[in-house]
Amino acid sequence: MNHPRPNMEVPILIERIACLFLEHGGERSEGVTSLEHALQCAQLAEWAHAGPELVAAALLHDIGHFIDRTPVPEHLDDAHERCAASFLAHGFSAAVVEPVRLHVQAKRYLVSTDRRYAGTLSPASAHSLALQGGSMSPAECRVFEAQPHAQDALRLRRWDDAAKQPLRRTPPLEYYLSLLAEVAAPRLERTALGAPDVS
Ligand code: FE
Ligand code: FE
């Protein structure tokens, strides 16, 4: 995937992310809200001593659900990871964007390579797995493994699956927003051609 030059002012980007969580973070699925799921995922990344980029990716991995609000029929894949990656690429490096973009493929990979993994998926994850392409062929697994951030995506996926514990205590969103501000790429000077500004 080609990453566009980061071109969103960091405070505007962080504000937009905060607004997205404020507007949609209360939506409930599998016993937790979207905000709780994101915070738990980021907390698990921190507990595993992940670097700040991967903690940011953990927090933001499902933000695509907040951005593209087009209703998707039950039998279709919503491609939320691609929507998230396109949005995040305007303000974050590949170390944040790529694990997010790959977190669905990571599930397909784990189902194909870890016999016990499929049995650990929640009913919703098992349902979406089928829509997302199901298990990978050996050739698809090799393509996945060759991607630069595949290992980070696999770590993220494990935290994602575990980040559904009702009533678990986490730091507040504000704590992670500060981390995002540190990790976000500063605005770069435009070239003569410039990159499209999506802010
Ligand atoms: Fe997801
Ligand atoms: Fe998730």
Query: Mean pLDDT per 10-residue run, the chain (199 residues)?
Result: 62 95 96 98 98 98 93 86 95 96 97 94 91 96 98 98 96 97 68 39
Q: Distance of CA 173 to CAs 18, 21, 37, 117, 151, Å?
A: 8, 9, 11, 30, 26
- In 3D space, the residue among 45, 47, 48 whose CA is nearest the CA of residue 58 turns out to be 45
Closest-approaching ligand to the CA atom of 107: 1
What is the model's pTM? 0.89
Residue 103 CA, ligand 1 centroid: distance in Å: 7
pLDDT at 103: 98
Residue 187 CA, ligand 1 centroid: distance in Å: 28
Residue 61 CA, ligand 1 centroid: distance in Å: 6
Closest-approaching ligand to the CA atom of 164: 2
Closest-approaching ligand to the CA atom of 128: 1
- CA–CA gap between residue 88 and residue 71 (Å, rounded): 22
List, in order, residues 6 or more apart from 188 with CB less than 8 Å away.
5, 6, 7
Q: Do residues 92 and 5 make contact, with C-beta atoms less than 8 angstroms apart?
A: no
Residue 199 CA, ligand 1 centroid: distance in Å: 24
Closest-approaching ligand to the CA atom of 81: 1
Find the DSSP H helices in the chain. 10-24, 34-47, 52-60, 64-67, 80-88, 94-101, 103-113, 117-120, 123-131, 138-145, 150-162, 173-183
- In 3D space, the residue among 59, 71, 67 whose CA is nearest the CA of residue 83 turns out to be 67
- In 3D space, the residue among 13, 33, 31, 32 whose CA is nearest the CA of residue 23 turns out to be 33
Torsion of CA 105, 106, 111, 115, to 10 degrees: 160
Closest-approaching ligand to the CA atom of 84: 1
CA dihedral for 127, 129, 133, 136, sign (positive or negative): negative
Q: Using DSSP, state whether 12 is helix, strand or coil.
A: helix
Q: Do residues 100 and 81 make contact, with C-beta atoms less than 8 angstroms apart?
A: yes
pLDDT at 10: 87
Looking at residue 184, its amino acid is: A
Residue 2 CA, ligand 2 centroid: distance in Å: 24
Residue 157 CA, ligand 2 centroid: distance in Å: 8
pLDDT at 192: 34
Residue 140 CA, ligand 1 centroid: distance in Å: 20
